[in-house]
Structure 1
């Protein structure tokens, strides 16, 4: 009997399996150390059968009940140390900030960035790029009061866009994304885009789609089995097609900046980067080159759009689900700001309840429940263990925000978590939406400003009306992985 036809597919499958085991084995190799105990892994799949890729952070929180606040889990063949609860995350990311300042493996981003840019680089490259970005962004007002007028202006454009709905039901995702993105566009590109600009809308669609896919089971599986997922069909391949379109958009903007560049008067972040590239063009070891500029711009643009716009969309849902909370915020806005002048950052200190609500929204939803993976930068002693240099670390930010030692009844939405007995605003060390330590989000200050100014401006002009009774509003995410993505919804905005 001729078995060649039957053996060929089997042989190919065997070769593919061996290749994947080899690649994942290389990916998971680490120097010996004393890792925390955890569930026993299976070959190749690791602890996959003990995890739900659709709710990865919930699975990891559940495992901590058996293995404690620090344990090892294998994602495929890659061992990762999981930090659960406020104390463990604080001791690592804050108390030993330098040791835990590396960026861990994140294959879905690495395939695109190749270690370039700010968010996913490491070592000296990351330090140089971060210093440059912090200095440059500060000069253009990011995170300072000088950008306040820019956010206020964009908030008024957003109000005008909302007024066009005439009280009819609509989905706020597009106008919110456009408004938030325009703020970072002003800093990075030196311009804002009209809400009807087709190129701008296409760009934001790519961002939204990528965030959704990366937060789905497909994104989670890609990060666990990148070699296998590269050859399997599925929607995860859209991520990389979208990334390529984003690269083309950014590259074209860089070309335009190069044509009009005035080295003596830089207008935005790209101009400053191009000037630094010219200054270091003779240095073969320079980190300032076109590919790094493209990836850094993408990091800033993506980070400055998705998390803030998603937080605002969740804010609408929560305020509609808890109308008594919305009523108190409206009352505070009327008392402190009134109906005419635009809200300003100075109003925050006079609006403790509104500030507490905004903090509680971010705690309650935790947009990035697992943060972005960290890595230890050297062999690191931690809680009686020795984590080898390069060990991946997963800081469960959701477990910090739901830690019962830090928040009373953490599963309930309660602005009192951020109010003292006299009704004054109080922050909490366990409030970590932007991940603490050396890798804290570059745009954390800007995001706080935007959330306050956009939301108070909207609530100054409108009342929020859901399409279903408040009790039926579903706050559970449509998908959760990289981020918690809210379910699509429509609502009505009526003038106040």
Structure 2
């Protein structure tokens, strides 16, 4: 580069630096929450370890308090850390923190549609409808429970085919919750070897993996730069388009066979509601909204439960003494001649505690999905300026020493009292809190309990290495905590 080129580069860099410093200083004058000093353009990203970002954020909170500012590249982010700060935001000032800021990878795909990405009146209409529809189809009632129980038996049949040989459980564990969602959305059950089903679950697994890569994390904060480049974001787009195409086929088939007096599933109910409101100019019930919401339910309702189960099996192999206690309680309460039910949960406090501890320990969604300040928010002694992205650290709550004495240890005793009875905790919030609490919380908790209990009713989990050598830390932390790939053997009981 010649002298003139170097001079031009230096001037451009200086302008960027001054602009960044000006923006940063203005934020401080507006009483922004404190935080580590960012670098121009890069922000605090060089200080973060993508494989251990939670430790970095814990240290920032220790130094600057439970409300602090960091910069992800040029993007300013306010972090709320700990139970008191998150509860104050989502409950005491819930209306001010209700607006969802979709991660850019989701926003590009959904364009503000769907349960995850929508806001305002659209979000209210779709969420209200979805909650009522799922409730009418048995969310938390016996009809949905029967579907999950039936799927648990299909899962056991597939697991029996492994014949105690070593295998990677990722795919099979994905199939079970995926089939439950298929049953709710479009009243279908797929065989585990069905080619279309294999393709769908394969795309879900791939997208879930890619969402947690450093490339997609960079895309979420620098989309204008990354979106024009080749990379894994294009693979996610391709997979989502194929899934939407599959869902559109289901919608067309449902329209051709729709009986308004006898809805079969979620899609039928949505189409009926759309027809009822065709003269309402304020209605948000459109084909695009149906595809987006169905995609949300399909993706979020499948891989999150599957990953929880993968983590759960890994933890129970790591601690065989805990697995033995689970087996003992299942044998005593359920036995081997009938399938577990949700009514059994109150009689199995130890199993219930193990399920809760799995969800607490893995902190599957460590930051919840981000929020957006749609106006200046006065929070504690600070101002969160309009347009600022806000992350809520659920991980910091699930690892709080005040609620869980040994927060970094896997210990079901966190949810048991001195008499061995199940003990609830206000700090247990893996599904977030407030008005945007996860829509599928009831279904997810039912699935994890019934699927895990049915697996342990029928099998003993055997690792391929000494349990002490199993790595139960997340492979990577991004949108989700992702478990390491592993194999195991299932010994029939």
Q: Which residue of 1 aligns with 2:441?
A: 444
**Residue aligned with 2:248, SS:** helix
Q: CA deviation at 1:366?
A: 0.6
Secondary structure, counterpart of 2:434 in structure 1: coil
1:270 aligns with 2:267: yes
CA offset digits 1:216-242 (Å, max 9, x no partner): 211211111111111233323211111
Change (3 A) 1:264 1:252: same
Give the one of 57, 70, 74 matched to 2:71. Answer: 74
Mean Cα displacement is larger for which, 399-408 or 43-52? 43-52
RMSD (Å), alpha carbons: 2.9
1:422 Cα deviation from its structure 2 partner = 0.8
Match for 2:295 among 289, 295, 298? 298
Residues 71-99 of structure 1 deviation map (CA, whole Å, 9 limit, x = unaligned): 11122222221011122112212332222
CA contact (8 A) 2:50 2:476 kept: no
1:330 maps to what in 2? 327
Deviation at 1:330, TM superposition (A): 0.3
Aligned mate of 1:57, from 54, 59, 74: 54
Gaps of 5+ in 2: none
Match of 2:474 in 1: 477
CA displacement 1:221-273 (0-9 Å, x = unmatched): 11111111112333232111111111111111111111111122111111111
The reply on whether 1:353 has 2:350 as its aligned counterpart is yes
Matched residues in 1 for 2:77 and 2:455: separation?
42
Secondary structure of 1:328's aligned partner: helix
| 1:360-419 deviation digits (Å, cap 9, x = unpaired) | 111111111111112245433211223234432111111111111221021111111101
- Contact kept, 8 Å, 1:371 with 1:397, in 2: the verdict is yes
Number of residues of Structure 1 aligned to a counterpart in Structure 2: 489
Contact 2:216/2:232, CA 8 A, preserved across alignment: no
Q: Displacement, 1:286?
A: 2.6
Partner of residue 137, structure 2: 140
Report matched runs for 1:384-403 at 5 Å: 384-403=381-400
Contact 1:185 1:191 in 2 (8 A): yes
Match in the other structure for 2:163:
166
> Which of the numbers 193, 196, 218 marks the counterpart of 2:193?
196
Question: CA, structure 1 residues 198+186, in 2 after alignment: closer, same or farther (shift >3 Å)?
Answer: same
Q: Among residues 97, 109, 113, which one is paired with 1:112 in the alignment? A: 109
Question: Who is 2:226 aligned against?
Answer: 229
Distance 1:11 1:285 in 2: 53
Alignment partners' CA distance in 1, 2:335 and 2:8: 74
| CA deviation string 1:156-185 (max 9, x = no partner) | 011111111111111111111111111111
Equivalent in the alignment of 1:287:
284
* CA distance in 1: counterparts of 2:161 and 2:52, whole angstroms: 38
1:424 equivalent to 2:421? Answer: yes
Choose from 144, 147, 152 the match for 2:149. Answer: 152
- Counterpart CA distance in 2 for 1:185 and 1:78 is 38
Residue in 1 that maps onto 2:306 = 309
1:399-455 residue CA offsets vs partner (Å, 9 max, x unmatched): 111111221021111111101111111011111111111111111011111111111
Q: Which residue of 2 aligns with 1:96?
A: 93
Distance 1:220 1:56, change over 3 A: farther
SS of the equivalent of 1:254 reads helix
Q: Is the 8 A contact 2:32 2:69 kept in 1?
A: yes
Contact 1:105 1:392 in 2 (8 A): no
| Higher alpha-carbon deviation: 274-283 or 68-77 | 274-283
Determine helix, strand or coil for the equivalent of 2:157.
helix
For residues 53 and 224 of structure 1, do their structure 2 counterparts lie closer, same or farther at Cα, with a shift above 3 Å needed?
farther
CA distance in 1, matches of 2:173, 2:307: 9
Matches within 5 A, 1:359-398: 359-398=356-395
* Partner in structure 2 of residue 42 of structure 1: 39
Decide which moves more: 229-238 or 456-465. Answer: 229-238
Partners of 1:53 and 1:220 within 8 A in 2: no
Deviates more, 1:278-287 or 1:463-472: 278-287
Shift of 1:40: 2.5
